[in-house]
Structure 1
């Protein structure tokens, strides 16, 4: 079996899981912090994220409102899975994102994800601060 790499970003965010869930699952909010999308929060739904550099194809694998969201993320060469885990805390939510499945012969994808996800998280936190 081939060894794969993962990118993990974790943050303690001072908002309840329900507020973060909205930002992870509502297309108009996803577009504000991540990318344009035709996302729908339904198990098995196929959707795309698109930006000026291109797009990625996705399919929802697991969805448990306010707790877990998992979907494939890839193109013709990349086959990864993004999993969001929301855990309530006294001060808000512990938010964890893991993108797993990068092969060792895909350093450009892996490095791009390592650089990109912290920026997306910063955008997400800015959006959350502006939401009611």
Structure 2
């Protein structure tokens, strides 16, 4: 399947936690692959280029500074970021610009339950949910040996189901964000 043939499924597995002005998008996805394989895909630059909305100048598997650059845009935005915690293959925490991300992996049957917490500006929470939804679909297919091209940025917004997906997440989150 090519990225052009892919259409995202319905919005699922997401919620928003609100603490005053701080909003956190929480996504849960069950993947068909063991935690060690998912960990490698979350941390290694050679795998990130297959599915993530950014590229990394080094592995995210160790704490310390890292530069993340947005993918899929004409002029990538470079973000001085920091891996705060990397406990393979369970917990990964890092900053991406002003955003904080935390990934938790736990065995789930023969696969992995992946949970992402993404501190995000409330104005973009539904777009963020839709974007991560697409990225995680691409990640799952890549790990299954059924890769499709990375779909991020403007390419994601061209998907046949993009507006529907954003609208479904906005409805799930109470319409408080677009």
Give the gaps of 5 or more residues in structure 2.
1-18, 147-178
Residues 40-86 of structure 1: CA deviation (Å, up to 9, x unaligned): 22211222132216335221011101000010112xxxx22111100
Structure 2 residue 138 is matched with structure 1 residue 126: no
Is contact 2:89–2:105 with CA below 8 Å preserved after alignment?
yes
Which structure features the higher share of strand residues?
A: 1
Give the gaps of 5 or more residues in structure 1.
none
User: Whose Rg is larger?
Assistant: 2
Is contact 1:2–1:103 with CA below 8 Å preserved after alignment?
no
From 38, 51, 69, give the equivalent of 2:92. Answer: 69
Number of matched pairs: 123
Give the root-mean-square deviation of aligned CA atoms. 2.0
Alignment of 1:34-113 (within 5 A): 34=52, 35-40=54-59, 41-51=61-71, 52=73, 54-55=76-77, 57=79, 58-74=81-97, 79-100=98-119, 102-104=120-122, 107=123, 109-113=124-128
Residues 81-117 of structure 1: CA deviation (Å, up to 9, x unaligned): 11110001223111111102x344xx1x333312211
